[in-house]
Amino acid sequence: MMPDSALEITERQFFRLIGRADRIMQFYMHPFTVKGIERSADAQNYINKYYESFEEIKAQGLDALIISGANIPTCELADTAFYDELKAVLEWANDNVTSVLCSCLSTHAVMRALFNETRSPLRQKLFGVYRHRILDETQPLTRGINTAFDAPHARNNKIERTQFEKHNMRILAESPDAGVHLATSKDGLKLICFQGHPEYDRVSLLKEYKRDISFYFDGKISTPPPLPHGYFQEEALNSIKSHINNVYKSHDITSFNEDYLSQFIENTWQDTGRSIIQNWVGAIYQVTGFDRHKPFMDDIDPSDPIKHVLI
């Protein structure tokens, strides 16, 4: 559901995460999107060429579903043009897919669609890399993960801890500054909700920062975007701020030097993101693959029929 500028980038990020999760398993990836998202002619042609329809997805089935974030200006997701179709996808997946993993806005969407929980706006965009703690090391997704780790966030809205807990969801990772990062359904697998971005690569926040400055120059947002928190090397902040001030003075986004700024990025989150996704893929495989007699969850009945379909 990402906008045109991030469509293929986000696709590659998730494909790369899944592809690196296990070097032995064979994965089949089936990208699809929902109607109601405004697309350029080039982006729509790309989707028409490489993506499948939701009807095709339903016909063949999935073992797992990843839903990306999106870039929308409104806080109330039910007002968006794509909400009804996204809700239909979520409701189908809730009944037919072993595990659904949501990133950022899609976490807010699933909470709205399945639990009627509305997100609330933040005073300022939460933007940067934040320190989190694992709250439960016994769950499938968090086994073997460092008890403290970093994760990127980029959002203007939030779902509160109490909103997750109201629906018996487990809070697995949380930050005092960024709030809940990772929550799952009670069984640890059926629904995986990230409020942050486990898929982000090294320069994702940098490109989003540049985009937001461009939005400010074009009058699409009213205030200058904040410098990404915890993203750049501390000792380089003065030089970085000087460069950004020059960009604002010139009022020309082409003076934003990505190559210069990228050398100061502290990449402190990708290893953890890969580890969590690896745990997720392994957990799905235990339920849907050959190892059906060693379920990872106590409430999984190994005598149940197993759909060995496509991820």
Provide the annotated active-site residues.
Answer: 104, 197, 199
* 223 Cβ contact partners less than 8 Å away, ≥ 6 residues apart: 216
Strand positions, DSSP E, 57-202: 64-67, 99-103, 120-134, 148-158, 170-175, 179-184, 191-194
Give the CA-trace dihedral at 257, 263, 266, 272, to 10 degrees. 100
- Cα separation, 212 vs 121, in Å, equals 17
Please name the helix (run of DSSP H) or strand (run of DSSP E) that holds residue 264, with its range, or none: none
- Cβ contact 181:151 at 8 Å: yes
Give the CA-trace dihedral at 236, 270, 152, 87, to 10 degrees. 160
Which among 78, 68, 7, 90 is positioned nearest to 43, based on CA atoms? 7
| Residue type (1 letter), 116 | N
Three-class secondary structure of residue 180 per DSSP: strand
- Cβ contact 168:126 at 8 Å: no
